[in-house]
Amino acid sequence: MSRNKLTKFAEFLAFPNTYTPWEEEKSTLEQWNPKHLPVTMELAAGTGAYTVALARTYPERFFLGVDIKGARMWTGARAALDAQLDNAFFLRSHIERLEENIPQASVEEIWITFADPFLAEGSAKKRLTSERFLGIYSRVLKQGGLLHLKTDSTPLFTYSLETIRSWRGEKGEHFLLENVLHDVYADPTSPEILTSIQTTYEKSHLAEGRTIQYLRARFVAL
């Protein structure tokens, strides 16, 4: 591991807007969000650029970036501190273990932006819209909470539409698709939030001529 990465890991651990469960004393969402603002999570947040941009745009909400790669999230955490954003926080965690740190029915929205589509044969269960992950989201989302997916991967988008439409929880909980856009930048109905905030990855994808797709689904608990 490079010295630069080790330095970022150490700084990430020391930042006041981050939490690494296995390195620190127990901390809670309530402590991270003392104003009790509505909570939005970005999963597989990477450098945290989307989390920071959302926090700037919506100061009345609390944004939590989640990723296992602390050296990457260092960028977003540092940017949030420099901008004095008190509504952006970063959790270093595997998404499979989300429920260890996020209480049930505590999240208003989940964003998945340009996540790894895991296209290799046999890797579908790793996709963040697979059935096991939808089950996790159903437990941390509030009734009526939203799940957003933004991607340049058509196979992942098609797969996600199928799993979201078919998924059912033990008590009949499900996700109701509310908006499906097959080309965000060509569709005149695209919400402004989808085009006004662009990560480095998205800008690169657009420069390469890739099509950006989006869906929004609402969690319905029975």
Residues with a known catalytic role: 116
CA distance 63 to 41: 6
CA atoms within 13 Å, Cβ hemisphere of 205: 19
Reduced to 3 states (helix: H, G, I; strand: E, B; else coil), residue 218 is strand
C-alpha 193, offset from chain centre:
15
Reduced to 3 states (helix: H, G, I; strand: E, B; else coil), residue 65 is strand
Angle between helices 70-82 and 49-57 (to 10 degrees): 30
Amino acid 183 reads D
C-alpha 88, offset from chain centre:
13
Opening angle at CA 146, ends 142 and 152, nearest 5: 145
Question: CB count, 10 Å around CB of 108?
Answer: 16
